[in-house]
Chain A
């Protein structure tokens, strides 16, 4: 109940976002209610609306994940995986926002569009810095590979892939990144 909590708006906002990520990850977009998120934090649903607007607005804010890919211009073909993968690991294994979004995107068009939009605005421009040709095709298949690895490791937990150390995975993924991003275009 709102009046029993100290009136620290920043903390409350942060608590709401954390609760929203847990709910969206566990239950998906459609089934998550603002009322349930509010109850998790011990505030009124009206407060959630006042801070974040609609459920869709809250979802967009809660699942806005940062992915800071390094500048790849000038990177050698063999260095690409080593440069990219630590950033990808940081997003898909250390930051629960991305997994919440990925799970929600399986059953919600809104969430899927949010994920697609993030890939288009935060990932594609960086990758485009090194692709020599067929930019969108190279980036598309690279995104598919990365999402497949993330899902297989962190959500499906398929042992052959989940059990690989980050270093092992990096070594196996290296030739794939290299081929997809800068290798010869298939005829």
Chain B
């Protein structure tokens, strides 16, 4: 099978990462095998190992993506929620990676570590630019709310949450994000 493919390493790497995201998303971390990922791409499992090392490393590479939240300092509090919610839909509905990471993180310690790192390195630093005080708590709680929305809407497909239109969800979620990030601090 390897021989049947053109030897284009960067293309193959990209194909492997795409296949890994689909597998991790559908089956979670533990049940995904390098062999299955390799078979999806039509390469040998040894090639996947050569490119990415272990399954852990492959998972980290597949989960490594930019969330691209803009700098929020000086942004009007009402606008902050809208910016974050539009990023939310982009990340969760147009890219299956994040759902994969969340599913996996709930069932695997290693994947949970990866998700915590994504939060600490990519998400929290952007969120804190909007906070007037208690940056760590505010960013953490906002992250928890967003995770809860994603989990109920895309993983559990809980009907009351999943049936909300984007607009309705935004209307009801915006005041919560606003309160958590920029509202009066807990007494």
* In the complex, chain B residues whose CB is within 8 Å of the CB of A35: none
B71 at the binding interface (Cβ < 8 Å): no
> Are B176 and A176 in contact, with the CB atoms below 8 A?
yes
> Are A175 and B184 in contact, with the CB atoms below 8 A?
yes
* In the complex, chain A residues whose CB is within 8 Å of the CB of B183: 175
A119 at the binding interface (Cβ < 8 Å): yes
> How long is the Cα–Cα vector from A2 to B30 in the complex, in angstroms?
32
Partner of B172, one of A120, A141, A156, A159: A141
Which of B11-19, B59-67, B100-108 is near enough to bind chain A? Answer: B100-108
Q: How large is the interface on B (under 10, 10 to 19, 20 to 34, 35 or more residues)?
A: 35 or more
B31 at the binding interface (Cβ < 8 Å): yes
B75 at the binding interface (Cβ < 8 Å): no
> Are B176 and A145 in contact, with the CB atoms below 8 A?
yes
* In the complex, chain B residues whose CB is within 8 Å of the CB of A107: 27-28, 31, 103, 107
> Are B146 and A158 in contact, with the CB atoms below 8 A?
no
Dominant secondary structure at the A interface: helix
> Are B143 and A152 in contact, with the CB atoms below 8 A?
yes
Task: Please give me the 8 A-B residue pairs with the lowest Cβ-Cβ distance, nearest first.
Answer: A148-B148, A160-B140, A171-B186, A140-B160, A152-B144, A106-B106, A186-B171, A144-B148
A42 at the binding interface (Cβ < 8 Å): no
> How long is the Cα–Cα vector from A145 to B146 in the complex, in angstroms?
8
A98-155 interface (Cβ within 8 A of B): 102-103, 105-107, 112, 115-116, 119-120, 124, 136-141, 143-149, 151-153, 155
Chain A residues packing against B (C-beta within 8 Å): 27-28, 31, 102-103, 105-107, 112, 115-116, 119-120, 124, 136-141, 143-149, 151-153, 155-161, 164, 168, 171-176, 179-180, 183, 186-187
B157 at the binding interface (Cβ < 8 Å): yes
Chain A residue with the shortest CB-CB distance to B134: A172
> Are A152 and B107 in contact, with the CB atoms below 8 A?
no
> How long is the Cα–Cα vector from A183 to B105 in the complex, in angstroms?
33
Partner of A151, one of B151, B164, B179, B187: B151
Partner of A179, one of B116, B157, B169, B175: B175
* In the complex, chain A residues whose CB is within 8 Å of the CB of B137: 160-161, 164, 168, 172
> Are A146 and B148 in contact, with the CB atoms below 8 A?
yes
> Are A116 and B175 in contact, with the CB atoms below 8 A?
no
> Are B140 and A112 in contact, with the CB atoms below 8 A?
no
> Are B119 and A158 in contact, with the CB atoms below 8 A?
yes
> Are B148 and A176 in contact, with the CB atoms below 8 A?
no
Chain A residue with the shortest CB-CB distance to B177: A176
> How long is the Cα–Cα vector from A102 to B173 in the complex, in angstroms?
22
> Are A138 and B172 in contact, with the CB atoms below 8 A?
yes
Partner of A148, one of B103, B115, B146: B146
B90 at the binding interface (Cβ < 8 Å): no
A-B contact pairs, 19 of them (CB 8 A): A31-B31, A103-B106, A107-B103, A112-B155, A112-B157, A115-B156, A116-B158, A116-B159, A143-B148, A144-B149, A144-B152, A148-B146, A148-B149, A151-B151, A155-B105, A156-B147, A158-B140, A161-B143, A172-B137
> Are B187 and A171 in contact, with the CB atoms below 8 A?
yes
Chain A residue with the shortest CB-CB distance to B116: A158
* In the complex, chain B residues whose CB is within 8 Å of the CB of A153: 144
* In the complex, chain B residues whose CB is within 8 Å of the CB of A119: 158
B136 at the binding interface (Cβ < 8 Å): yes
